[in-house]
Amino acid sequence: MGKTPGILSVNLSRLHNAQIAEAESSIAVLTEQEYRLEGLITLESMKTEALYSPERLIDMIRKGDPAMHLRLRAELDRVISRIDLDFDINPDG
């Protein structure tokens, strides 16, 4: 009977060590995902910055990035569809 508390203590210690190892593994996986997502955010932010500089935008268009062409075409279509032309306006009054 004197050995039972020692065995329980060892088993409890093993259980805690396993839980700690599992938590550390989860932390490592989540940290890796965080770094990957931060990199993706940086990359996408750099792409959007190009939209505010005409020179960079023209350069991106000339490089022939098909994904960029598709996004640009969709955005232009969206903007153009919102333009309402009224040819009955009399500029002289």
Total domains in the fold of the chain: 2
Q: Note the pTM of the prediction, 2 decimals.
A: 0.46
The domain of 44 spans 1-50
CA distance readout (Å), 58 to 53, 68, 89: 9, 11, 34
Task: Kindly report the average pLDDT of the chain as a whole number.
Answer: 81
Closest to 59 measured CA to CA, from 67, 51, 36: 51
Listed residue (31, 46, 33) closest to 57, CA to CA:
46
Model confidence band, residue 1 (pLDDT cutoffs 50, 70, 90): very low
Identify whether residues 2 and 29 lie together within a single domain.
yes
Q: Is residue 20 part of a domain?
A: yes
Note whether 32 and 56 are same-domain residues. Answer: no
Look at residue 72 and tell me whether its pLDDT is greater than 70. yes
pLDDT in tens, 25-69: 999 999 999 999 999 998 888 777 766 777 877 777 788 778 778
